[in-house]
Copies of this chain bind each other. A is one copy, B any other.
Amino acid sequence: MNQSVKDYIVSINSAIEKENFGDKPQELYEPIRYIMSLGGKRMRPLLSLLSYQLYKDNIKEVIPASIAVEIFHNFTLMHDDIMDNAPLRRGQQTVHEKWNDPVAILSGDVMLVKAYQQIIKYCPKEKLTEILEKFNQCAIEVCEGQQIDMNFEEQEEVHEADYIEMIRLKTAVLLGFSLEYGGILAMDNEADQALLYQMGVNAGIGFQLMDDLLDVYADQDKFGKQVGGDIIANKKTYLLIKAKKLASGENGTELKKWLMAKDFDKEEKVNAVKDIYDKLSIKELTEAKMNEYFEKAFKNLEDLDAPSEKKIIIKDFFNYLINREQ
């Protein structure tokens, strides 16, 4: 990873550490400090800084404003973990597990308000309405994406286009907003602001498809989670949706058998489904789809009215993410 990017992340982490969020009642603020301290890539505020540096040099000035998107992201994690019954987040207990559901609901609510507070405190007044309108839109779409994702779990069949739309809402629009946000803070070129948003959405869809791929094809020694977890859980990822669509004859029967199986050896199921994926070229098809979105994102980057040498850091960062193994 580029040294500037590393420096940005250090600055973001240090700004988050300095934030106290609140004192009493501690049941409300302890969970906020806890989830914010679990780390992660800090990708969303980082994207805001990366788009800002395309146009302006005084990065330090926008670090406090950039934290808003990280607070918002962690609010969604806290609430999603309740809804998904997730026991762990970044290898640590989730908030609703460590405390309880009411604490996780209420601390999450406070975090959403804190995200607004951070925007209102640190954004210039003349840009506040525009930023808040876009942030609201994004926040609502993220909730819509989460609901659609939950609906998919109950649905027999999910279409490829609906899946892409779900990950656009659930994951990609926040990356789009984060980039656009840095752009709005830096300059007034609306065409570039729209391109930054599109770049984030395209990259976001690409990264989510990559997550789906890694879950099946990552090197277990380098991957943080269990490889094949999505297969074991019948998770409706791009790979499974594509395979269900393409599988016919013996492949179809075999896939259906594994999807219905109640009692199975996990490794056996993972290997069997991977075999079907291989026969149907699911890896290549997913990579093609993913690259389609990455290429759009790189094209968006190229089209920006910003100095080429400033674009390199973003290009490098995207490539770093594309080459990640976990």
Contacts and interface: CB of A to CB of B under 8 A. Distances in A.
Chain A facing B: main interface SS:
helix
Contacts of A246: none
Contacts of A128: 128-129
A28 B129 contact: no
Nearest to A83: B102
A133 B110 CA distance: 14
A125 interface: yes
Contact of A147 (B28, B101, B108): B28
Q: How many copies does the complex hold?
A: 2
Contact of A133 (B27, B79, B120, B146): B120
A117 B136 CA distance: 7
Given A24-B144, A120-B136, 12 more contacts: A22-B144, A25-B147, A25-B151, A27-B151, A28-B143, A79-B105, A83-B101, A103-B147, A108-B109, A109-B109, A113-B136, A125-B129
Contacts of A83: 101-102, 105-106
Contacts of A28: 143-144, 147
Interface in A220-268: none
23 contacts: A25-B151, A28-B144, A83-B101, A83-B105, A83-B106, A101-B101, A105-B105, A106-B143, A108-B109, A109-B109, A109-B143, A110-B140, A113-B139, A113-B143, A114-B140, A116-B116, A116-B132, A117-B140, A120-B129, A120-B133, A120-B136, A128-B128, A128-B129
Interface in A6-63: 22, 24-25, 27-28
A112 interface: yes
Given A83-B106, A106-B83, A147 B27 contact: yes
